[in-house]
Structure 1
Amino acid sequence: MTQYTVRLKDGWKFTDGTPVTAESFTKAWSYVANAKNAQKCSSFFSMIKGYDELQDPDKLQGDEQLSGLNVVDDKTFTVDLNSPDSIFPVKVGYIAFAPLPESFYKDPKAFGENPVGNGMYKFTHWDHNSQIELAKNADYKGVQKVANDGVTFKIYTSADSAYSDVQGGNLDVTGTIPASAIKTFEKDSSVEAYNKAGSVIQAFTIPSDYEHWKVDTEEGHLRRLALSMAIEREEIVEKVLGGTGTVATDFSSPAIPGYADNLKNSENLKYNPAKAKELWKKADAISKYDGKLVFSYDADKGFKPVFEAIVNSANNVLGEVGLKATANPVPTFQEFRNSIDERSMKGAFRTGWTPDYPSIEDYLYQIYDSAAADGKGANDGDYRNADVDALFTKAMGITNQDERNKVYQDAEVILLDELPSIPLYYSNAVGVAAAGVKGFTMDWQNQPIFNELSKS
């Protein structure tokens, strides 16, 4: 199917009081797709007709519209795709496809400081680097129920501090468990703990064109395989994570249809120190280098023990043949992401993925398709492979889920060989709530369901 008709329900309006119309969607989608506006979610719209014509920023003003979007009336618009995309009805539930009010286009920067939406909550105040306050949106017309009058998001640079505040009743919920509590939080009587299988995959990426690690060279291929086989994932999951994860066998997640644990080349994710050394020596025979490799991670998310363990495991295996791995903690997630977005991050860096929508396509196309490279999506390593792209396109045209997932798995076989990123483990959904908090649970994206929370 290459055309969809979208019809809006009556009564919806933004928190500034203006109505949500068909144009609220078509203008927003076109703005994000337009390369002049340099939006991170641009690649989500690459399947819509007219996307390619909006990818040369030097020839654009920023207000050009996707030709595949056509407004029929205030409550109706059509979407024409370049080719069939069986996942499209699922994709549009992601936040990248949300509508925008007219006030956004008048001053995007000011809008960022005082955002307007049409969801369960409305923005009230932002104390930068401290907290963001939201109030219940009385005009919300959706099906989800809100059990509280609002939510305040407090900003922490230390997972330990947030956990201590939950223990003391000064914070209601956190979805990040510090390393110091990972083995004990489920037995902590001062909190309500949550620990169930989740959908998040943790990996690290080495840019595809990084010297000595280039994906399209034999040397780079050998070094990536060697490094992957030098990491003892089982030990990290058990000893560092305290069992709150599962060793990765592919690029998706056990929580998503299409996951597989026995694909061809999945042995490249298994600990094999002898093979790792052999492959490293073969790479050195092609081109010798000093062996220095920095692993960067966001220190405010509790990843220090994980990346120290990765570095230690890699050095224990490959140190004697030349690898000199070191860990580089970046103080905040924002600084970390800015460096990645600016392509100034050197060496390896953490690249966890929380799915945007429940499909294996989201784990693959959005991270490894060429359309998502160069800052247009989540392809942070700027990986490109025409065969992988072709398989993604083929899969999108298949309506039968099992048949579609098989094609995505064919793409994974290539990814497991080339390793544009190196999967580590799947994170459980973990968190804690303070005493007196009711309705604490977590969703399929490993996030607390804030609208269901209340306090006695």
Structure 2
Amino acid sequence: MVRSARKTPVWIALILALGLVAAACGGDDDEPGSGQTSGPTSVEPGGDFSLQICEPEFLVPQNDNETCGGQVLQSLFTPLVQYDVETSEPANVVASDISTDDQTTWTITLNAGWTFHDGSPVNAQSFVDAWNWAANASNAAGNNYFFANIEGYDELNPTEGDADPEATLSGLEVVDDLTFTATLTAPFSQFALTVGYNAFYPLPPAFFEDPEGFNEQPIGNGPYMMDGVWEHDQFIKVTKFPDYAGTPGNADNIEFRIYSDPDVAYTDVQAGNLDIADVPDAQIEQGRTDFGDAFIETPSSVFQYIGFPLSDERFQSPELRQAFSLAIDREAVIEAVFFNTRTPARSLISPVVAGSREDACQYCAFDPELAAQKLEEAGGWEGPLKFWFNSDGGHETWVEAVSNMWRQNLGIQEIQFESSEFADYLGSLDAGDVDGPFRLGWVMDYPSPQNYLEPLHACEGSSNNTGYCNEEVDALIAEGNAAASIDEGIDSYLAAEDIILEDMPIIPTWFGLNQSVHSDRITNVQIDAFSFIRVADVQVVASE
């Protein structure tokens, strides 16, 4: 759809008056800070460095599903497959082979010689025991749902009564010390891609003896091992594992320093007290200048969206939802609020994933005339509108900007904000208490279009917060899952995406970018599409 000419929205003038608009971030890929660091070439083996994280939720990989804990776990564990830092393509690491004849029964063969930090072997039982523990409802693992497509999951997660804590997945079988099989409930061509996620990490026997103690000082099979216990709200220290079976890390020691305020972390890098930190949005412009080649900007899999509670009859009309999307000038918000640190979303699938399309969404272009027409077709809007978001994520400014666009372009004058801290906010969504548009984000678990569609939009999707359900969409996703290969499934996934975008249960808003800065003490700082620093690759610069 041709994008209509646009006038300067009223809300931009308001933000200008408040002094929130910075100069546009010009330049091209040849300018400093547009990619990974080149840095000095003189480096010494070993050395220490530090980086910013927030307080993790857990350090048991089957429990943790947020990025702060995930950053630490990447140093402590090595999975069956790892994703390439630039392409996100999976490559076998602990696994020597993952194969199937029918996309349903998968055989996983391990490389010999891998051990945990306590010397116990990494074998087939290490994976089967870990997956069984996570899949059993009695353990309340945060990543339990990742095992829902393995045979026997329903028996471990009864809808009534308690699960048998000793029960295991009937679909998992140890064949020999280095081989096990996983039988799925239906064909799933993406299975080999998913097992790089931390839910599928192995666990040593020591975990099952003391899960709570393990959470404070995990024993993994990765390039680094814990150096003391997790000092909550302060730091987590790791040191190089001398018997690591893979390519060893470069630095000898790493400190994951825990910050509650990202601005403080950024200032600490400026002062030489920290080596790596994220860049707050308000510092992007100056950060490019101040840090030069030590300012890193790379693509991210982060996807932000506005959802609709479809159980509310006021949001039943697709035309109404389309109108809300058409009324948003994404480029203007990104420039004025985010200092050009986002890219407009016109797809449900991140550009870092195979199959993503730049203009899949015909209702994601700014077109206030068509927005008004769609709203009229839907019967208009009467009464106040509540806009929901979490209060601890810095969302207030863009929420206000989008609300002003809805006021100006749709004539909805009474827009009320409902916000709470993230945990309470998710509780409101789960309880069905949200009665207006709501913001959420998504970071891929594994690089597949399926991961952006099925969890969020399938009728029984694990993260379906809108209540959207379209049997044709589910059938197309299942068709993609059953394809002979990942690539052969893409067309089915894209057909499902087309239907979702027409129905518009969510408004795609923007995709994220990673921005970090680092001190001159280190080089070879790389950020992957999951927004993780590849800490094992970081090199400490030789002291003069």
Deviations along 1:222-270, whole A, 9 cap, x unmatched? 443232222210112223233232211111112211011233xx12222
What is the DSSP-based 3-state SS (H/G/I as helix, E as strand, rest coil) of the residue aligned with 2:155?
helix
CA distance in 1, matches of 2:347, 2:252: 41
* Residue 408 of structure 1 pairs with residue 502 of structure 2: no
1:368 paired with 2:457, answer yes
2:178 paired with 1:178: no
The SS at the match of 1:164 is: helix
Structure 1 counterpart of 2:201: 98
1:433 maps to which of 506, 518, 537: 518
2:508 alignment partner, SS class = strand
Aligned sequence identity (%): 34
**Match for residue 270 of structure 1 among 356, 365, 375:** 365
Give a deviation string over 1:30-80, Cα, whole Å, max 9, x none.
222233433332332232222233331524123321111111122221111
Is contact 1:311-1:326 (8 Å) kept?
no
2:140 matches 1:140: no
Q: In terms of mean alpha carbon deviation, does 333-342 or 274-283 score higher?
A: 333-342
Query: 1:5-404 maps to which residues of 2 (within 5 A)?
Result: 5-56=107-158, 58-123=161-226, 124-143=228-247, 145-174=248-277, 176-189=278-291, 192-210=294-312, 212-213=314-315, 217-218=316-317, 221-263=318-360, 266-281=361-376, 283=378, 288-299=382-393, 302-318=394-410, 320-326=411-417, 328=419, 330=421, 347-373=436-462, 378-404=463-489
8 Å Cα contact 1:311-1:325 kept in structure 2? no
- Structure 1: gaps (5+ residues): none
* Distance (whole Å) between structure 1 residues aligned to residue 170 and residue 513 of structure 2: 42
Larger Rg: 2
The answer (yes or no) to whether the contact 2:156–2:164 under 8 Å persists in 1 is no
SS at match of 2:363: helix
* 1:206/1:349 contact within 8 Å kept: yes
- The alpha-carbon distance between structure 1 residues 122 and 312, as it changes in their structure 2 partners (threshold 3 A), is farther
Partner Cα separation in structure 2 for residue 258 and residue 82 of structure 1? 25
Q: What's the secondary structure of 2:229's corresponding residue?
A: strand
Q: CA deviation at 1:384?
A: 3.4
1:384 partner amino acid: C
Report deviation, 1:191. 7.4
What SS class does the counterpart of residue 441 from structure 2 fall into?
Answer: coil
Among 422, 437, 456, the residue aligned to 2:507: 422
Deviations 1:303-345 (A, max 9, x none): 4543343333333333x33550437373xx6666676667776
For 2:530, the aligned partner's letter is Q
- Separation (CA, whole Å) in 1 of partners of 2:261 and 2:491: 42
Q: After superposition, what is the alpha-carbon deviation per residue over 1:139-176, rounded to whole angstroms, capped at 9, x for unaligned? A: 32124x311123222222222222111111111112x3
Q: 93-102 or 36-45: which moved more? A: 36-45
How has the CA–CA distance of structure 1 residues 250 and 408 changed in structure 2, closer, same or farther, with 3 Å as cutoff? same
Alpha-carbon distance in structure 2 between the residues aligned to 1:345 and 1:146: 46
| 3-state SS in 2 of match to 1:181 | helix
CA contact (8 A) 1:125 1:134 kept: no
- Deviation string 1:101-139 (CA, Å, 9 cap, x unpaired) is 233334433332332222122233322222222222223
Residues in 2 aligned to 1:427 and 1:43: alpha-carbon distance in whole angstroms: 26
Q: Work out the CA distance in 2 between the residues paired with 1:341 and 1:115.
A: 31
Once the two structures are TM-superposed, the CA of residue 346 in structure 1 deviates from its matched residue by 6.6
Change (3 A) 1:55 1:361: same
Corresponding residue SS for 1:16: coil
The residue that corresponds to 1:455 in the other structure is 540
Supply the AA of the counterpart residue of 1:361.
Q
Change (3 A) 1:146 1:336: farther
AA partner of residue 195 (structure 1): E
For the Cα contact (< 8 Å) 2:307–2:437, is it kept in 1? yes
Task: Report if the CA contact (8 A) 1:43-1:372 is conserved.
Answer: no
Distance 1:394 1:317 in 2: 40
The 1:208–1:120 alpha-carbon spacing in structure 2 relative to 1, beyond 3 Å, is farther
SS in 2 for 1:183: helix
2:538 & 2:147 partners in 1: Cα distance?
A: 34
Residue 59 and residue 8 in structure 1: after superposition, are their counterparts in 2 closer, same or farther (change >3 A)?
Answer: same
1:310–1:153 CA distance, 2 compared to 1 (3 A): farther
Question: C-alpha distance in 1, partners of 2:356/2:233?
Answer: 38
Take 2:407 and 2:239, find their aligned partners in 1: how far apart are those partners? 50
Secondary structure at the aligned position of 1:62 is classed as coil
Alpha-carbon distance, 1:180 to partner = 1.5
Structure with a larger share of its residues in helix:
1
Shift of 1:432: 0.8
One-letter amino acid of the counterpart of residue 390, structure 2: S
Letter of the structure 2 residue corresponding to residue 276 of structure 1 = A
TM-score (norm 1): 0.86
Q: Distance in 1 between matches of 2:191 and 2:497?
A: 21
Compared with structure 1, are the counterparts of its residues 193 and 146 closer, same or farther at alpha carbon in structure 2 (3 Å cutoff)?
same
* Distance (Å, rounded) in 2 between the aligned partners of 1:107 and 1:323: 54
Q: What is the letter of the counterpart of residue 321 of structure 1?
A: I
